[in-house]
């Protein structure tokens, strides 16, 4: 039977599952969900249940590597840690001396959601160096900005309370694939009589099980939200709120007939949805981040999040809205990250890495340190990103579990630990439980944690500030030293004993929080690169959505054959396929003015006519031509929050070979 140890899933998912690890002979042999955790409830998603395939994959990076071939070729030689860290420290010192410290750019995101391995010793290091600061916007910034505009806080309905709802709207939320631990609460709510509606351009696994699926065109969510407000106000289903005059006037300009033209949803369906949502009690919206990956995405989130304020459903248990709970995890970030260690520095938006590597000047980026991310695969404007990574005058170091697409361009590759192998403190953006995990197994080979790597690198750089000697436990205590009422009474010792502790948030976290109904005008204009947009090009009539794969998570599982198979397809509606002479299983080219990507057609009712979908994110080494769907995506930014517009992209599709 072996020993059972506790861990926490660190992957970029709202569920942040508590895991029981069965260990035999020092090796993890089975993972299962902790039945004591109120959200994990004893099961894991299909990805993490099979995480040991990744943990012990034969291509797992085990030793430091130095490049010996051309950039992108992926040829390296093994070196020792001392040599690797001396090389990295020397290059960073040289770059800072010759070009200034802002010529160094760190690049990281959600490869781990642990506070320590994601944003502690690394931030201290780059702040002390004076490096350029990264604006980490590639996933959730637009939605977060929209929620902050609406309420000034990033909190929402607890997942456990969805059982009390009688009307549930999953808006841009493929719950079965990206938030599966909410599903049992929905199942129970439906058993009690709840109606379940999905709003999504794609017929996802979740949409297929809904009572009603509405498929708007990509990027039209703000118009739909304004149309629902119109119905609520016009039919007396909205409360009279202080300061709502301008919002009422704005919504009056979006009758269902106009919104039908903007969204592709029938006017009568818009009326029906507004009436059902406005009369059901309690009604809750599970809003996910797909909505905000559009040029109008930040304000779309703001508008959708105002709907429960208009109906009063925040006051009802089982009502309201859930986008994120992350705002409740108000740790002491200044103590953890120490921005005071260095002077203010320029900020680089991570979405525009291609521009930063090819155009940024005064100074240009001369050293790039990548960890917790794989920008070669996941960034938009991919061809320019790859152009920048090929620069011979750019020194690149990558810290990862595998020789990723980005690592193939690196001069130095360092092996990192996984969440099963290090200590960390975990927040969640889909529930209110703070968690601690210790190593469940020893690291293989010579893998080291991010904390250990940056601590040792700081020593070799001559940074003698006391904070660089802090242990993991020291930093956890510093993070928990906060005046936030949500964390009062939560200590390292308590977490050590209980493993997961619920934050001190009230039963109705948003009840009494005043909505900002009179902020920046909520006016819908179609995204420029969309079916109705100002930059519509008749050569590219199809709207591309590159949403999350079911078996993958960004590029974290793309080394696995089943994920490669899932991310190598293009889903097309039969009408669009027939018009182009395309049959199911055919090799096709998806193209626009930015590039061409080769995929295999999957023809069926997966999307509405005029929309195609390519599940993300394929490793480039598996892709013909060495590019994936992000070669087609622009680096245009969202209306607020500086996020990417992954889901505003016009393309055309043609058969490969003789036409």
Taking CA atoms, 308 is separated from 93, 142, 506, in Å, by: 53, 20, 18
Which structural domain, as residue segments, surrounds residue 230? 141-323
434 φ, ψ to 5°?
-90, 140
Burial 555-592 (b: 16+ CB within 10 A, else e): bbbbbbeebbebbbbbbbbeebbeebebeeebebbbbb
pLDDT value, residue 659: 46
- CA-to-CA distance for 78 and 111, rounded, in angstroms? 24
Q: Mark which of 288, 323, 358 sits at the end of a domain.
A: 323
Residue where a domain terminates, one of 485, 501, 534: 485
Residue 509 maps to a domain: no
Judged by DSSP in three states, 107 sits in: strand
Closest alpha carbon to 401 in 548, 558, 528, 551: 558
Nearest-angstrom CA–CA distance, 220 and 262: 7
Residue 430: inside a domain: no
The tokens for 317 are 């248990």
Q: Count Cβ atoms within 10 A of the Cβ of residue 62 and give its class: 0-12 exposed, 13-18 middle, 19 or more buried.
A: middle
CA–CA gap between residue 107 and residue 255 (Å, rounded):
45
Does 531 fall in a domain? no
Q: For residue range 386-406, list pLDDT tens digits in order.
A: 999 999 999 999 999 999 999
The answer to whether 572 and 607 have CB atoms below 8 angstroms apart is yes
Q: Do residues 283 and 373 both lie within one domain?
A: no
- Residue 497 placed within a domain: no
Give Cα 265 distance to the centre of its chain: 27
Residue 617 has pLDDT above 90, yes or no: yes
The CATH number of whichever domain residue 191 belongs to comes to 3.40.228.10
The DSSP H or E segment spanning 497 is helix 492-498
Write out pLDDT tens, residues 148-169.
999 999 999 999 999 999 999 9
In a shared domain, residues 290 and 228: yes
Residues 122 and 153 in one domain: no
Share of the chain above pLDDT 90, in %: 97
Parallel, antiparallel, or unpaired: how do β-strands 65-67 and 76-78 relate? antiparallel
Both 96 and 184 in a single domain? no
By three-state DSSP, how is residue 600 classified? strand
Asked whether residue 205 falls in the same domain as residue 314, the answer is yes
Q: Residue 634: what pLDDT?
A: 97
Report whether pLDDT(351) > 80: yes
User: Per-residue pLDDT tens for 496-552?
Assistant: 999 999 999 999 999 999 999 987 789 999 999 999 999 899 999 999 999 999 988
Q: Is the pLDDT of residue 8 over 50?
A: yes
Does residue 212 belong to any structural domain of this protein?
A: yes
Residues 378 and 283 occupy one common structural domain: no
In angstroms, the CA 83 to CA 461 distance is 14
CATH code of residue 416: 3.40.50.740
Question: In sequence order, what are the residues at sequence separation of 6 or more whose Cβ sits closer than 8 angstroms to the Cβ of residue 1?
Answer: 22, 24
Instruction: Judge whether 457 and 88 are in contact, CB under 8 Å.
Output: yes
For residues 637 and 577, membership in a common domain is answered with: yes
User: Cα separation of 228 and 274, whole Å?
Assistant: 5
- How many other C-beta atoms can be found within 10 angstroms of the C-beta atom of residue 97? 10
Asked if residue 312 and residue 346 are part of one domain, the reply reads: no
Do residue 254 and residue 186 come from a single domain?
yes
The yes-or-no verdict on residue 232 having pLDDT over 80 is yes
Residue located via tokens 């039945």: 35
Of the candidates 143, 234, 74, 71, which has an alpha carbon nearest to the alpha carbon of residue 644? Answer: 143
**What pLDDT, in 10s, does the model give residues 403-446?**
999 999 999 999 999 999 999 999 999 999 999 999 999 999 99
Q: How far apart are CA 129 and CA 121, in angstroms?
A: 12
Q: In this structure, is the dihedral angle defined by the CA atoms of residues 212, 216, 221 and 225, taken in order, positive or negative?
A: negative
Per-residue pLDDT, 1:
67
Asked if 170 contacts 200 with a C-beta cutoff of 8 angstroms, the reply is yes
Same domain, 553 and 649: yes
Q: What's the average model confidence in pLDDT over 67-85?
A: 97
Q: Tell me the pLDDT of the chain averaged across its residues.
A: 97
Number of domains in the chain: 3
- Looking at residue 518, what is its pLDDT? 83
256, 378: one domain: no
Residue 242 lies in a domain: yes
Do 188 and 217 sit in the same domain of this protein? yes
Note the pLDDT tens digit of each residue in 98-149.
Answer: 999 999 999 999 999 999 999 999 999 999 999 999 999 999 999 999 999 9
* Cα gap 341→124, rounded to integer Å: 7
Distant-in-sequence, close-in-space partners of 26: CB < 8 Å, separation ≥ 6: 441, 442
Cα separation, 459 vs 473, whole angstroms: 19
Going by C-alpha positions, the residue among 570, 604, 605, 576 that lies closest to residue 588 is 570
Residue 578, domain CATH: 2.40.40.20
What is the distance, to the nearest Å, from the Cα of residue 292 to the centroid of all Cα atoms in its chain? 11
pTM over 0.85: yes
Checking if the pLDDT of 333 tops 50, the result is yes
pLDDT at 658 > cutoff 60: no
Give the C-alpha separation, 119 to 484, whole Å: 19
Is 228 exposed, middle or buried, given 0-12, 13-18 or 19+ CB atoms closer than 10 A? buried
Classify residue 9: in a domain, yes or no.
Answer: no
Residue 533 maps to a domain? no
């Amino acid at each position: 039977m072996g020993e059972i140890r506790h861990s926490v899933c660190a992957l970029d998912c709202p569920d942040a599952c508590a895991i029981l690890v069965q260990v035999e002979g020092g090796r993890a042999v089975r993972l299962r969900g902790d039945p004591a955790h109120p959200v994990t409830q004893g099961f894991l998603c299909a990805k993490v249940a099979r995480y040991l395939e990744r943990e012990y994959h034969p291509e797992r990076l085990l030793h430091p590597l130095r490049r010996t071939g051309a950039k992108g070729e992926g040829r390296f030689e093994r070196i020792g840690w001392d040599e690797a860290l001396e090389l990295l420290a020397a290059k960073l010192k040289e770059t800072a001396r010759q070009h200034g410290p802002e010529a160094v750019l760190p690049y990281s995101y959600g490869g781990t959601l642990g506070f320590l391995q994601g944003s502690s010793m690394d931030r201290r290091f780059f702040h002390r160096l004076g490096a350029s600061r990264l604006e980490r916007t590639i996933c959730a910034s637009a939605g977060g900005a929209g929620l902050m505009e609406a309420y000034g806080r990033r909190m929402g309905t607890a997942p456990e309370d969805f059982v009390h709802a009688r009307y549930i709207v999953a808006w841009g939320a493929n719950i079965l694939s990206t938030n599966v631990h909410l599903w049992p609460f929905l199942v129970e709510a439906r058993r009690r009589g709840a109606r379940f509606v999905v709003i999504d351009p794609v017929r996802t696994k979740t949409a297929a099980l809904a009572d009603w699926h509405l498929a708007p065109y990509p990027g039209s969510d703000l118009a739909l939200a304004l149309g629902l407000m119109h119905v609520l106000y016009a039919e007396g289903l909205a409360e009279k709120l202080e300061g709502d005059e301008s919002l009422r006037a704005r919504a009056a300009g979006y009758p269902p007939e106009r919104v039908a033209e903007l969204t592709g949803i029938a006017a009568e369906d818009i009326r029906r949805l507004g009436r059902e949502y406005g009369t059901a009690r309690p009604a809750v919206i599970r809003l996910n981040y797909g909505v905000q990956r559009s040029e109008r995405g930040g304000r779309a989130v703001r508008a959708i999040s105002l709907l429960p304020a208009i109906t009063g459903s925040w006051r009802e248990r089982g009502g309201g809205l859930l986008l994120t709970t992350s705002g409740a995890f108000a740790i002491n970030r200044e103590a953890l990250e120490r921005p005071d260690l260095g002077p203010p520095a320029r900020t680089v938006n991570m979405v525009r890495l291609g521009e930063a590597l090819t155009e940024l000047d005064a100074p240009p980026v001369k050293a790039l340190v990548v960890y917790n991310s794989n920008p070669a695969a996941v960034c938009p404007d991919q061809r320019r990103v790859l152009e920048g990574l090929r620069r011979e005058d750019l020194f690149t170091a990558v810290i990862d579990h595998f020789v990723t697409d980005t690592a193939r361009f690196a001069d130095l590759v360092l092996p990192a630990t996984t969440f099963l192998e290090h200590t960390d403190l975990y927040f969640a953006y889909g529930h209110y439980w703070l968690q601690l995990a210790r190593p469940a197994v020893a690291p293989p080979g010579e893998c080291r944690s991010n904390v250990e790597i940056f601590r040792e690198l700081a020593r070799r750089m001559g940074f003698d500030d006391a904070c660089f000697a802090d242990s993991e436990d020291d930093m956890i205590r510093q993070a928990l030293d906060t005046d936030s009422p949500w964390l009062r009474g939560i200590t390292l010792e308590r977490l050590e004993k209980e493993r997961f502790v619920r934050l001190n948030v009230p039963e109705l976290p948003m009840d009494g929080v005043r909505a900002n109904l009179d902020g920046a005008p909520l006016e819908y204009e179609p995204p420029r690169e969309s079916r109705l947009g100002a930059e519509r090009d008749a050569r590219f009539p199809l709207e591309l959505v590159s949403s999350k794969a079911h078996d993958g998570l960004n590029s974290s599982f793309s080394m696995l054959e089943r994920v490669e198979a899932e991310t190598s397809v293009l889903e097309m509606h039969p009408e669009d396929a027939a018009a182009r002479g395309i049959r199911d299983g055919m090799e096709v080219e998806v193209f626009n003015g930015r590039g061409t990507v080769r995929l295999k057609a999957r023809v069926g009712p997966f999307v509405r006519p005029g929309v195609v979908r390519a599940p993300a994110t394929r490793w480039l080494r598996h892709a013909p031509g060495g590019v994936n769907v992000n070669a087609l995506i622009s680096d245009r930014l969202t209306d607020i929050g500086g996020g990417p517009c992954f889901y505003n992209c016009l393309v055309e599709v043609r058969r490969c070979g003789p036409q």
